[in-house]
Amino acid sequence: MRVLRRIRPTPEQITVIRRIQTGTSLIRGAAGSGKTSTALTALRAATGTVVNQLRNEGSLPAHVLVLTYYNTLKGYIAAVIREEMADYADSVLIYVLTFDKWAYDTLGINGPLELERCEVELRRLARPFPRDTSFILDEVNYILGRFLPGNLDDYLTRPRTGRGNSPQMDGAMRTRLLDEVVRPYLHWKQVNNIQDFHDIAVLMSQHAPDFLFDVVVVDEAQDFSANQLRAIMRHCAPNATITIVTDNAQRIYPRGTSWAEAGVTVTAQRSFRLTVNYRNTKEIAKLAAAVAAGLPMDDDASLPDPESCVESGNLPVLLKGLYREQVEWSLKRLADIDLETETVGFLHLKGGKYFDFLRQQLRLRRLAFCELQGSRAWPEDEANIGLCTFHSAKGLEFDHLFLLGLAQQDASYGEEPDDEGFEALRRLVAMGIGRARKTVVLGVKPSEALSLVDDIEANLVQEIEL
């Protein structure tokens, strides 16, 4: 699948790139503003500076670390970097990894973690608690991601940000959660000599590195936990150039951590916001903005802004009919797309077997496609049609996007307007829409439609009854 090649920075991005230097820089901006492209261009410039310095000192190679949240995005960025950094192949050791893969390799962990056993035990402990079990699992993951094991009591007094106001967790409930779920879970892991991803992040935050990184880029940082960020900072050289890319409007996981608490120091002079949307058309941005409207935002969040888009296009399409009909209509639309030069993405909230019918129909029409979900290497073949979940699409972009089978049964959340699960779903769908450059097609079966699709104003989409 085609990727961006030889990134050409815009005037806005050049201004940011020129100001990125030793220390930590923060790049913010809405989807489509070129945050990742800016960071990768700055990476090349910073690496050149470091290589020249280390060459004079006789201490090559330079060490460069690029961390992403998902394997899919890691594969995409690795494909871009291979070309962008080709000039430094003999002078730089470049690591493009997810945090977990980086931690596994650094700590020398062999074999998979027993995550299924961990989840079964957590569910057992959470089941008697007077809150929805899925909510409790998310809250426990938030606690173990934000606080070090010796500081769990900070959960009782620190403001809980990064999620909706419902369900409520007052002081008494927080104490019960620590005593009845969190601490018993930690004890269970210790007795059974089991580790989860939170333990890996803590170990990395305490690890004595064999070497330190000279240049670091952290993409989609809004979904990294505080302990993961602490671990990253521990492995940076004192004079490292660190670039953090974030947009809390696209946050999927309720982290709720300040940069300072995670050990990241960012001054006002090194905090940048990109404002121009170079990816979406005004019509696509309007739809994404409508889905995300009213979500709680902080200074690290940027809502899609249709007025910042440089291109206009057709209205997004909303198909109403059976899933089979949605697929058939969409595949006919592919006849109008140049699949040699343009990319197509099919996204689903669940993925996996939910793509079975689509896969079958693509094969019948002899249309080459690739599986992007969880892919460790970017599929650089002739297939410009990609299938993946919404989660795996973070950081990617497609010329044409099809979001079919948007069903309420694939989403779960509480009934309150500010329920955390509903807010997370809205962020996820808005982020997914924002992956498109030229066209977007949504598809629902009216009797099973995702509720937030029913709330989309008619003037934002072209409705087609199948």
Q: Which residue has the tokens 């937030």?
A: 452
Cβ neighbour number for residue 197 with a 10 Å cutoff: 19
User: 31-40, 118-127, 266-275, 369-378 — which one is most confidently predicted on average?
Assistant: 118-127
Report yes or no: 390 and 349 within 8 Å, Cβ to Cβ.
yes
Per-residue pLDDT at 300: 59
Helix (H) or strand (E) run with residue 185 in it: helix 183-192
In this prediction, residue 440 carries a pLDDT of 98
Q: Which residue has the higher pLDDT, 304 or 172?
A: 172
Q: Which two tokens stand for residue 308?
A: 């910042």
Give the rounded percent of residues in the chain with a pLDDT score beyond 90.
64
Q: Which residues, 6+ apart, have CB-to-CB distance to 42 below 8 Å?
A: 16, 17, 20, 25, 217, 243
**pLDDT tens, residue by residue, 220-263:** 888 899 999 999 999 999 999 999 998 866 555 555 678 888 99
The one-letter code for the residue type at 465 is E
Confidence of residue 413 (pLDDT cuts 50, 70, 90): low
Beta bridge partners of 272: 27
pLDDT of residue 4 exceeding 60: no
Residues 396/76, Cβ–Cβ less than 8 Å? yes
pLDDT by residue (tens digit) across 43-79?
Answer: 989 999 999 999 999 999 999 999 988 787 787 788 7
Residue whose structure tokens are 């970017």: 378
pLDDT for the residue 254:
53
Residue 91 pLDDT more than 80? yes
Asked whether the predicted pLDDT for residue 297 surpasses 70, the reply is no
pLDDT tens digits along 379-391 = 766 789 999 999 8
pLDDT band at 111 (very low <50, low <70, confident <90, very high): confident
What pLDDT does residue 332 have? 97
Which residues does residue 216 pair with via DSSP β-bridges, in sequence order? 65, 242
Q: What angle do CA 48, 52, 55 make, to 5 degrees?
A: 135
pLDDT at 302 > cutoff 80: no
For residues 175 and 137, what is the distance between their CA atoms, to the nearest angstrom?
Answer: 16
* Amino acid at site 106: T
Average pLDDT over residues 110-114: 87
Task: Indicate the DSSP class of residue 151.
Answer: G
Q: Is a pLDDT exceeding 70 seen at residue 346? A: yes
Q: Quick one: average pLDDT of 304-323? A: 94
**pLDDT, tens digit (0-9, with 9 covering 90-100), for 147-200:** 999 999 999 998 876 555 556 788 999 999 999 999 999 999 999 999 999 999
Beta bridge partners of residue 241, listed in sequence order: 23, 215
Query: Using the 8-state DSSP alphabet, how is residue 88 labeled?
Result: G
Q: Where are the domains of the chain?
A: 11-108+200-274, 115-194, 278-465
Q: What is the predicted pLDDT for the residue at 259?
A: 87
Q: What is the pLDDT of residues 445-455, one digit of tens each?
A: 999 999 999 88
According to CATH, the superfamily of the domain at 278-465 is: P-loop containing nucleotide triphosphate hydrolases (3.40.50.300)
Q: What is the average pLDDT value for the chain, to the nearest integer?
A: 89
Query: Nearest 5°: phi and psi at 162?
Result: 95, 5
- So what CATH class is 11-108+200-274? alpha beta
Hey, do 11-108+200-274 and 278-465 end up sharing a CATH topology, with the first three levels equal? Answer: yes
Q: Rounded mean pLDDT of 319-346?
A: 96
